[in-house]
Amino acid sequence: MVSERSLEVLRVIVQDYVASREPVGSKSIVERHSFGVSAATIRNDMALLEEEDLITAPHTSSGRVPTDKGYRVFVDHLADVRPLTGAQRQAIEAFLGQSVDLDDVLARTVRLLSQLTRQVALVQYPSLARSRVRHIEIVPLTLTRLMTVFITDSGRVEQRMLDVSFPLDEVFLAELRTRLNASIGGLGLAEAADALAAMPDQFPQDRRAIVGLITTSLIEQVAANRQDKLVMAGAANLVRTEDDFSGSIFPVMEAIEEQVTLLKLFSEMAVDQNGVSVSIGRENAVFGLGETSVLTSGYASSGGSIARLGVLGPTRMDYSNNIAAVRAVARYLTRLLGEE
């Protein structure tokens, strides 16, 4: 049974190791922290922690470093999640508040989160399983070129250029836009695709060619919207921490480029008491990320869809700061998208 003091020793070992990347010894704990006991007593506490597989010695006669299990106990029970400073919160609001659309806000989100945490930042597009069609636009650009715009209630915008071999009739395009919005506005994406496929048969023979071209383009846009995807930033931060990985970091880089793998990991992570999901080290081994930790939190879009954002990095990371940053950015993103 690990005592309360031993858990406090684990806390300072995690904090000191994260700060210095040097194994932590009993002497340095006594010198840097006010435990009011001797180094021998601290060594006894460390021995108990080692028996519980919470810390380990990377080399003979060295200090100790946290194990994956030790990091888990730290995150679940010992982490002091400090709120972001006023300046940091203002920076989040100022930077994300300049966004012009959903793509821009998510790109800004990962850039900001990678800067706040110095980790790889990830954000999932709003879950599209429940997304519905908000609006369709058909915009003539020239006599033989038009643009189709597909907008969902989650704020997702898809644009496509379409070239035709005959002059466009702007009056008819306006009529078609009205009929499309009346037919598929408010439908779910699967229903919208079916309705679009049936649309050409509802028009006279001489109009079916142009209607077919436009509805085919829109069906492709629907398909693009039904695919979950991630935005990522801060890969250079992973390279900066290369010494925290045994061997090459390229397998880690390859794993995080597999969006399907990361989306599956996101879906399996349970939320903790801080509103953040944390998966540490060997808990990620099945995804090829056994030397990394992943922290995520959920955010809601204007359509009510839920998605995740978070960070990925080595197990030796500043969990307290990163949890606070992920939680704060997720909350602001929910508020920002809810106002749209």
**pLDDT tens digits, one per residue of 25-83:** 999 999 999 888 898 999 999 999 999 999 999 876 679 999 999 999 999 888 887 78
Please indicate, yes or no, whether residues 286 and 214 belong to a single structural domain of this protein. no
Instruction: Answer yes or no: is pLDDT of 175 > 70.
Output: yes
DSSP string, 247-306: S-SHHHHHHHH-HHHHHHHHHHPPP-TTS-EEEEGGGGGGGT-TTEEEEEEEEE-TTS-E
Full domain range(s) for residue 20: 4-78
**pTM (two decimals):** 0.74
Please indicate, yes or no, whether residues 268 and 203 belong to a single structural domain of this protein. no
* 289: Cα within 13 Å, side-chain hemisphere: 26
Please indicate, yes or no, whether residues 319 and 290 belong to a single structural domain of this protein. yes
Please indicate, yes or no, whether residues 15 and 60 belong to a single structural domain of this protein. yes
- The span from the CA of 304 to the CA of 10, in Å, is 41
Please indicate, yes or no, whether residues 115 and 247 belong to a single structural domain of this protein. yes
Please indicate, yes or no, whether residues 100 and 182 belong to a single structural domain of this protein. no
Q: Which of 2, 107, 128, 93 is nearest to 55 (CA)?
A: 2
198, 225, 252 - which closes a domain: 225
Count up the domains in the chain and report the number: 3
Please indicate, yes or no, whether residues 137 and 199 belong to a single structural domain of this protein. yes
Please indicate, yes or no, whether residues 158 and 273 belong to a single structural domain of this protein. no
Q: Which of 17, 16, 14 is nearest to 72 (CA)?
A: 14
pLDDT tens-place string over residues 256-305: 888 888 888 888 887 776 678 999 999 999 998 999 999 999 888 765 66
172, 204, 225 - which closes a domain: 225
183, 208, 225 - which closes a domain: 225
Task: Out of 189-193, 266-270, 317-321, give the one with best mean pLDDT.
Answer: 317-321
- How high does pLDDT run on average in the chain? 88
What CATH number does the domain containing 121 carry? 3.30.450.40
- The span from the CA of 292 to the CA of 315, in Å, is 5
- For CA atoms 187, 189, 193, 194, the dihedral sign is negative
What CATH number does the domain containing 213 carry? 3.30.390.60
Please indicate, yes or no, whether residues 121 and 158 belong to a single structural domain of this protein. no
Please indicate, yes or no, whether residues 51 and 145 belong to a single structural domain of this protein. no
What CATH number does the domain containing 40 carry? 1.10.10.10
Averaged pLDDT for residues 5-17: 94
* Cβ 230 vs Cβ 124: under 8 Å: yes
Residue labelled with tokens 């005592």: 3
- The span from the CA of 298 to the CA of 277, in Å, is 9
In this prediction, residue 127 carries a pLDDT of 62
Please enumerate in sequence order all residues whose Cβ is within 8 A of that of 256, keeping only pairs 6 or more positions apart, or say none: 120, 122, 232, 235, 238, 262, 289, 312
pLDDT-derived band at 211, boundaries 50, 70, 90:
very high
- The span from the CA of 177 to the CA of 321, in Å, is 49
Q: Which of 11, 50, 13 is nearest to 28 (CA)?
A: 13
Instruction: Answer yes or no: is pLDDT of 340 > 60.
Output: no
Please indicate, yes or no, whether residues 68 and 45 belong to a single structural domain of this protein. yes
Q: Which of 299, 151, 325, 128 is nearest to 229 (CA)?
A: 128
Q: Higher model confidence: residue 274 or residue 213?
A: 213
Task: Out of 1-5, 270-274, 314-318, give the one with best mean pLDDT.
Answer: 314-318
Residue labelled with tokens 């925290």: 244
Backbone phi and psi for residue 151, each to the nearest 5 degrees, phi listed first: -125, 130
Q: Classify the phi-psi angles of 247: left when phi > 0, otherwise alpha if psi is within -120 to 50, otherwise beta.
A: left
Q: Which of 124, 148, 303 is nearest to 229 (CA)?
A: 124
Please indicate, yes or no, whether residues 58 and 94 belong to a single structural domain of this protein. no
pLDDT tens-place string over residues 139-155: 999 999 999 999 888 77
